[in-house]
Structure 1
């Protein structure tokens, strides 16, 4: 225990920014910490300080502080997030750190990510202030002020002074990968909540299910936000935002952030840290179309008066008992049983039988002569002895292959080995010799290699709706290929990144509900991390929907992420098939 250690009284606090504040303790001790932590310490409150330093001002890394719950250092968890193949075993993993947002750069990253959240009502979601001219600048990313001064983040619109933030940091990353992959915002409960039912609006529905004092006194805003914060003391927390970087959707990071937030609320009493938390809840329209809250264990209880679903997670046995009683006794809750998400896309019809190649021979002939060439080029070729020649290249020689319905097959091999030729045969091109038996009544979708497919001008959700005639199913398909963001739903294909366009191409084909999906040079133009993510998502989707997939690629990370049932090496006229022998360990 250092000179300043022990139980001490809080004399005051100063909050300058979300990432910087100071707390004054008796004895002349000043603690530097984030403003989001400092704002919850009330003058007169007793805290326990631990430090090894004998000085009046302690920096971020020089002490530990505990009030009702540990407050400093900020909450943090080191994580390894393993992405499993659809058939079991590890496909790849991320090394991550989930921690409370602490530094200025954390909040700058949050502001940039906020623009991708569907519930952001403002076109510009952040306000910045110039440190030189004090001008307020609305912008979604850190701007440059006209005067040349540095802009600093003043406000993230939609958040409140009571909001606290959890960021997901990529601990090991490539130079072009983002540092912050996503964030979660945790707030106190909203003051009141009503339920919409077929019979009308039921007021104060939460207090019918759980004890009233679990939600009160909560943050109610007002001109004096510090006094409003000082009154907060609830047994519930509300997840107000979960935002993941658009390029990392479908990786399970949303569910991961929610799981860590539950630990944060349980271990630190977040956001205010004054009382044990009995439950965490969220109001999330996206939960109708994406089940990640339910995958974590949240239960759907009711819709708000405005029609948005509310899901709860009990942290204690007492909360679990209240929740289960409501699901058992309330007539509307009994009908849904706590479940909200219902798949709309479902499975395709599937191929009625296997694809078979037997003794297939395929060759291409090219006639080379000097016709049409300039005199100088003809003379140069004649000097090499080149006049005219028929070049015959045998691509397949007596090749046989069977692809069972609903399986994933990867065609691997060098450029020019015959992968594209094999895909053309599966499309219906005739072999020179042998038999290609394709199941009747099949629906085939094909993405050719090295050809830019026209994606149209309609916003991506509209484009899928026109094919599926079901908005819910269209959203589900976009979610399953990793485009689970309502902001992106409104984007046109030309406004998407390369990786997002690749996913949208897949979504368009899946909207055709094919039994057989053929892809040439899969993910050829994507960087390694993006190709891996897209491949894993596609493999899972095809297995769940019953789509037979045959994809040609030369990239080992794509093969590993797809985890195919059959790996077919194509080359020198032959096919060598390596079947999957079981889950990787």
Structure 2
């Protein structure tokens, strides 16, 4: 007969019997930890994650809801991760701890004109649980650091305890076994990780598309004033000191001499950077027990490069805010009043502000600080600061401002009147090799003059700022139609017959600034410069250059400093779009729009380019037959071309 405690369905208020931090193996502790509690006179191990277990102390009171019977393994009673619910009892409140927080979100990408859904993402946001989750975080973190030289993970041998650094899971040089992830570089022992898992994904799509790292507040914060002076302890002048203290601060809790001695010893074995991480881990236990703030800090938001610039960054931040508010992350103690972030990227990307953060000030080192109020009291204090502080009154809590702006809209429409373009060629077999000549002669082909109307008596008006899609079968004349418009602006091209109408006229306004992309024919030229340099030189503003690169889906520092020759075919197409947009045209003509991009990436790019064109006042004319792109662009006109005819209609 299986021994049971007979407690299934019970709700028990009990205590932690031993220090969970001391019980944890440092091998893989992030995703595996134990909380020992007393149930009916027996010690029962609750299986949880190490990042949760480390926050509890011996004799602490908790509430356990038993969804199943504890299982006896040897002499140990165990409750598996699906067998219980756990609540921390803190000052008369019950704080939910286990199961981990999770919530499903649907992010719809809509047409800006009619709010019609174009496509959507369905994701579940939850705390990282497994070794696989943390492996994927390491992979994403490499994109954040964006450097082949940066090592983002620290690993430890499960047998001998040897440490090493690597961006992929290494094997112990002594024992040959896979090493276990110990730390993600830049994180601290108090860090908690929220991942966004893509639901309903295809096999080729990533499982984790984003993650957020949440830490305790930094111990000290100063403000750099516009005159260069530094104002000390600015945070405590705006908010109560107890909101930010005591925070996780190991160096303030240990004897400096001992820390330095231990660090010097480890440095001789592992080197400076790895020794620093090991010492930090070793002195963190006491600091974790003491940390108890009413604030949290979003220390990192990383979105998969293929999914950036499409709202997932904002969604990640909003999900993290809910997680922090409901579970009081990271410490799970005091009610949280505020979330802070220190993010240089906030100067170039407004996703924190879109999530509701206020820009407050720059740190002493010049990095922007943004804050999100979780309570009415925090909201009141932020607003008072922004209204009364002489420097904050200038920016009013807003940091990011679009630098691309608008263009000088075309003063008049493009008027196409009685446009005719004929095509003629002579098919002659005389110059062909005899074997090929015999094949064609068998079909009755000897010498033939081919003449046809590509466009005939076309009359169309394209208004300033309109988005126009040109469709038609392959060879129907889409490219020819675009050439006629390009030739009307760039008269020098009409020395080539293909840019010159046979009959009729195309009137373009005198202030037209044209940029065009006809693959293999008219393309921007790239040298050995990086993409960021290329776009910056054209637009004259590095911040606006980042904005343009983000707009075309090249929103990763790896792409910013890549050279054109280092890109894939699809990335090259997006780089060409960025180059054209950097010229700030008021007429943009593109053939085979997004032809080299997969369906979802093409929709993302089309949506953002279309949105930019409408905001900036750019007349956009593209040729494509892809129905999903036409639907995403939601054009003002569709021009159908075929068999010599061309006519426009509203979709």
TM-score range, shorter chain: over 0.9
Q: What do residues 13-51 of structure 1 show as CA deviations (whole Å, max 9, x unaligned)?
A: 233421111111113211111212212222221111112
2:435: which partner in 1? 376
Aligned partner of 2:293 in structure 1 is: 234
Distance 1:371 1:149, change over 3 A: farther
**1:343-389 CA distance string (max 9 Å, x none):** 22211112111112222221211210112111122223222221111
The answer as to 2:632 corresponding to 1:561 is: yes
Question: How far, CA to CA, are the matches of 2:13 and 2:546 in structure 1?
Answer: 54
2:400 to 328, 338, 341: 341
Give how far 1:155 is off. Answer: 1.5
Aligned partners of 1:184 and 1:74: how far apart in 2? 15
Cα distance in 2, alignment partners of residues 412 and 284 from structure 1? 44
CA distance in 1, matches of 2:172, 2:371: 44
Counterpart in the other structure of 1:583: none
The one of 298, 303, 308 aligned to 1:249: 308
CA RMSD between the two structures: 2.1
Residues in 1 aligned to 2:180 and 2:344: alpha-carbon distance in whole angstroms: 32
Q: How far apart are the structure 2 equivalents of 1:439 and 1:575?
A: 22
Q: Does 1:108 align with 2:135?
A: yes
Would the alpha carbon gap of residues 308 and 420 (structure 1) be closer, same or farther in structure 2, given more than 3 Å must change? same
Is the contact made by 1:499 and 1:530 (CA closer than 8 Å) also made in structure 2?
Answer: no
Partners of 1:220 and 1:163 in 2: how far apart? 13
Q: 1:384 to 1:492 in 2, by over 3 A?
A: closer
Distance in 2 between residues matched to 1:99 and 1:219, nearest whole Å = 23
- 2: CA distance, partners of 1:339 / 1:272: 30
1:282 to 2:341 alignment: yes
Give the CA deviation at 1:217: 0.5
2:24 match = 15
Q: Which has the higher contact order (CA 8 A, sep 6+)?
A: 1
Within the candidate set 9, 15, 36, 1:24 is matched to 36
- Who is 2:541 aligned against? 470
1:123 corresponds in structure 2 to 150
| Structure 1 position 552 matched with structure 2 position 623 | yes
Q: What is the DSSP-based 3-state SS (H/G/I as helix, E as strand, rest coil) of the residue aligned with 1:117?
A: helix
Question: How far apart in 2 are the matches of 1:306 and 1:401?
Answer: 58
State the alpha-carbon separation in 2 of the partners of residues 204 and 232 from structure 1.
19
* Structure 1 residues 558 and 323: alpha-carbon distance in aligned structure 2, compared to 1, 3 A threshold: same
Q: Which residue of 1 aligns with 2:583?
A: 512
Q: State how far apart, in whole Å, the 2-side matches of 1:497 and 1:132 are.
A: 42
Confirm whether residue 179 of structure 1 aligns to residue 179 of structure 2: no
Q: 3-state SS of the aligned residue for 1:331?
A: coil
1:265 lines up with 2:324 in the alignment: yes
1:484 aligns with 2:511: no
The separation in 2 between residues aligned to 1:145 and 1:489, in whole angstroms, is 35
1:430 match: 500
Give the 3-state SS of the residue equivalent to 2:509 in structure 1: coil
Equivalent position to 1:80, from 100, 106, 116? 106
1:393 deviation in Å?
3.0
Deviations 1:160-193 (A, max 9, x none): 0000111111102222111111111111100000
Q: Deviation at 1:408? A: 0.9
> CA offset at residue 575 of structure 1?
2.3
- Single out whichever of 466-475 and 509-518 deviates more from structure 2: 466-475
Question: Cα distance, 1:409 vs. partner?
Answer: 0.8
CA shift at 1:242, angstroms?
0.7
Deviation at 1:397, TM superposition (A): 1.9
Q: Which residue of 1 aligns with 2:275?
A: none
Aligned mates of 1:404, 1:325 — CA distance in 2 = 47
* Equivalent position of 1:439 in the other structure: 509
CA contact (8 A) 1:124 1:138 kept: yes
1:86 deviates by 2.6
Matches within 5 A, 1:525-544: 525-544=596-615
C-alpha separation between the residues in 2 aligned to 1:231 and 1:493? 52
Residue of structure 2 in register with 1:138 after alignment: 165
In 2 relative to 1, CA 120–383 (structure 1 residues): closer, same or farther, beyond 3 Å? closer
Unaligned runs of 5+ in 2: 1-6, 71-76, 89-93, 252-281, 488-498
1:119 and 1:494 map into 2 onto residues whose CA distance is 18
Larger radius of gyration: 2
Cα distance, 1:333 vs structure 2 = 0.9
Which range moved further: 196-205 or 113-122? 113-122
- Aligned to 2:250, the other structure's residue is in SS state coil
Counterparts of 2:337 and 2:456, CA distance in 1: 68
CA contact (8 A) 2:67 2:85 kept: no
| TM-superposed deviation, 1:62 | 2.0
Within the candidate set 41, 50, 58, 1:43 is matched to: 58
CA displacement, residues 268-309 of structure 1 (integer Å, 9 cap, x when unaligned):
101111011101111111111211111111111111000011
Give the Cα separation in 2 of the matches to 1:366 and 1:305.
72
State TM-score, norm by structure 2. Answer: 0.85
Q: 8 Å contact 1:381–1:387 — kept in the other structure?
A: yes
Corresponding residue for residue 64 of structure 1: 85
- Look up the SS of the partner of 1:261 in the other structure: helix
Distance 1:414 1:535, change over 3 A: same
- Comparing 554-563 with 204-213, greater Cα deviation is found at 554-563
Distance in 1, matches of 2:83 and 2:644, equals: 68
Q: Which has the higher helix share?
A: 2
Do the aligned partners of residues 121 and 40 (structure 1) sit closer, same or farther apart at CA in structure 2, a change above 3 Å counting? farther
Per the TM alignment, residue 145 of structure 1 is displaced from its structure 2 partner at its CA by 6.2
1:8 CA drift (Å): 1.5
Give the conservation status (yes or no) of the 8 Å contact 1:75–1:99: yes
SS in 1 for 2:16: strand
